[in-house]
A and B are shown apart, each in its own frame.
Chain A
């Protein structure tokens, strides 16, 4: 009871300060991107970020998931239990396909664009 009340309070604080404030806790510098895992689905399915962005996956399911690059382009996460998260900073532009190594039918894409390039996308 006490713990869940505290967790709710902390969640409220994070929400209250906005998404950017929550991510700053994970990384002191640089832009941030967020991917949620809910109902065995990565949301957004495709995340577009600038190079240097720290992307954080958060597992909202009652089942553990794990993040792995489809072609070993970035380090895989440990198993993420409920509410666990994993962050990786993408410094090299490119298209990164990833999947859940526990449930490989779950897939997603991160498109990393040059930090100083076109700002047609955000």
Chain B
């Protein structure tokens, strides 16, 4: 469903439904009420904004896909080892000096 906000300007629930209908197989299009439910749920979670000065209300994405991804990665990469047990990263934070040492080691390995 999300793809729809990523591309375009603000849409009404009906327009969202029409786009979904044309994108999915015939007979599998969701009802407008379903779309509205999903939209309001997304609004509560802070993904979608609603402009109330027109009727029907128009919905738009608050952040682009790339912005969301950047935010997510920032959270993941700055989650230092002793803050939360929520995630496990493959390699933790590495300083510039250490990175150079590793690069030299890597060159040795690759050359062999």
Same assembly: no
Q: Which A residues are within 8 Å of any B CB, using their own CB?
A: none
Residues of B participating in the A interface, judged by any CB pair closer than 8 Å = none
